[in-house]
Chains A and B, each alone.
Chain A
Amino acid sequence: MAYLRSVPRVWREREIKYRLIGGACRSCGRRFYPYRQTCPACGSEEVERVKLPETGTVEVFTVVRSPPSEFAEQAPYVVALVRLDDGTLVPAQITDVDPGEVYEGMRVEAALRRYRTQGERGIIEYGIKFRPLIQ
């Protein structure tokens, strides 16, 4: 049986995961995702919650062909660093694409998708992924 993350933890993170809530450090000015209380760059605890922009560009990516069992149904899938339009770098899955269709510089948009299901009986975890921008 797959490892099940605690339901309260999924619940605590829902706003961050559903709405792309990042941190903005008041000491060094850096923006990051996901939000946490301590700035990963300078260690400051002067971090504000910010709603990050929903569009960006694929900066680098890799294809996952042998994923952990909880993601098996989605493999092969693409994970990337997405440079949001405000400059924030977000690690995320790129969905609605075949691995061969992704390229550096691809314009993408955040969208709520299934992250994983906790088996047949547990909760379904949702969160932001990125898919090609529909223009």
Chain B
Amino acid sequence: MKPLASIIGYGAYIPRYRIEAKEISRVHTGGAERAPVRQKSVPGPDEDSLTIAYEAARYALRRAGIDPSLVEALYIGSESPPYAVKPSATVIAEALGFSRKLYGIDMEFACKAGTTAIISVAALVSSGVIRYGMAIGTDTAQGRPGDELEYTAAAGAAAFLIGPSSPEAVATIDHVYSYVTDTPDFWRREGEKYPMHTFRFTGEPAYFHHIISAARGLMEEAGLKPEDFDHVVFHQPNVKFPQRAGELLGFKPEQMKYGLLSGEIGNTYAAASLIGLANVLDNAKPGERVLVVSFGSGAGSDAISLTVGEGVEKVRDKAPTVAKLVARSKLVDYALYLRYRGMILR
């Protein structure tokens, strides 16, 4: 595979509010539950997956430093769009002043839709259909009150501005590989507010099988081994799953140092592996190789191999880093959390 395209700008966004797992546990189990994350992000009352995507997209645009009217594609991956029917892509494109000759679409594949958006936009660039396009993973995920998903279902977004392949860019997408099977581990029917799931955090047949198959598939096709990568990022529904996936594939904890944030912000669904990638780009050196593997229920994984470019150091400080967004946090209690999620009506 020849390099598909390059990332020329990237941006993440995490809402300001957090709720600690022990606060959720206090309400539902009297504090008995051992939580899979320390805390999770909570969107404010005027935020949704569209507004946080806009924030991330604006930072990506700022880092790329190009005229927004040159952007000719906007692919948004999310499982929590504000409308059942009416795209978010049109609003964000209009708000940021993208070209009106635009390939715009909202995509859904649970937590995998963001990486699929990147692959799709990179393919449009690679084929010469467009020169610049943006891909976003964004979610404001909800778990049923008291359900184990409530401890982790969080909010966040990450956006990537993609252009022609160049070593001067932020990073170049060298290789992609996707693996899917029909696996009903998690779903939400039309009109239902909360998802259903079959197993506690859906382990072996869902998360691990797809992550490992996609990662091995990519390494085999590209002729790479775990030690060829400086950084690796996995989808992170909790802290343990990505750590275990890394171990099973032969990666070392140092390779996962920057890519694992779920302990502090929870599972940001379509944004989870992409906020991890943004944090890697905040910290990586030119020439380093990165592997990103997403997972979406239903089920499938995208693996993306990238090489960090010379441009990363020039754009890094033009927008807030992931570390800054993680640190910008204000704790809320369960009552305020319910209110912000629109569950207390006045």
Contacts and interface: CB of A to CB of B under 8 A. Distances in A.
Contact of B47 (A14, A15, A113, A135): A113
Contact of B324 (A114, A124, A134): A134
B51 A113 contact: yes
Interface in B19-40: none
Contact of A124 (B45, B82, B342, B346): B82
Interface stretch (B89-97, B243-251, B286-294, B302-310): B89-97
Nearest to A73: B45
A19 B94 CA distance: 8
Contacts of A114: 46-48, 51
B342 A112 contact: no
B51 A134 contact: no
A74 B324 contact: no
Contacts of A96: 16, 44
A126 B55 contact: no
B219 to A, nearest CB: 37
Contacts of B97: 19
Interface residues of A, number: 20
B83 A124 contact: yes
B94 A112 contact: no
Q: Would you call the interface of chain B mostly helix, strand, loop, or mixed? A: loop
Contacts of A115: 46
A95 B48 CA distance: 14
B50 interface: yes
Contact of B46 (A19, A74, A134): A74
A126 B324 contact: no
Given A72-B346, A113-B47, A19 B54 contact: no
A14 B90 CA distance: 11
B328 interface: yes
A129 interface: yes
A109 B345 CA distance: 29
Q: Would you call the interface of chain A mostly helix, strand, loop, or mixed? A: mixed
A111 interface: yes
Given A72-B346, A73-B45, A126 B320 contact: no
Interface string A99-134: 000000000000111110000000010100100001
B65 to A, nearest CB: 15
A61 interface: no
B45 A74 contact: yes
A119 to B, nearest CB: 12
Nearest to B17: A96
Interface in A76-111: 95-96, 111
B55 A111 contact: yes
Nearest to B48: A114
Nearest to A18: B95
B335 interface: no
A73 B346 contact: yes
A134 B45 contact: no
B325 interface: yes
Contact of A126 (B95, B325, B339, B342): B95
A124 B81 CA distance: 12
A112 B51 contact: yes
Interface string A59-81: 00000000000001111000000
Interface string B131-165: 00000000000000000000000000000000000
A111 B274 CA distance: 21
Contact of A18 (B91, B320, B342): B91
Interface of A: 14-15, 18-19, 72-75, 95-96, 111-115, 124, 126, 129, 134-135
28 contacts: A15-B94, A18-B91, A18-B94, A18-B95, A19-B94, A19-B95, A19-B97, A72-B346, A73-B45, A73-B339, A73-B345, A73-B346, A74-B45, A96-B44, A111-B55, A112-B54, A112-B55, A113-B51, A114-B46, A114-B48, A124-B48, A126-B91, A129-B46, A134-B320, A134-B324, A134-B325, A134-B328, A135-B324
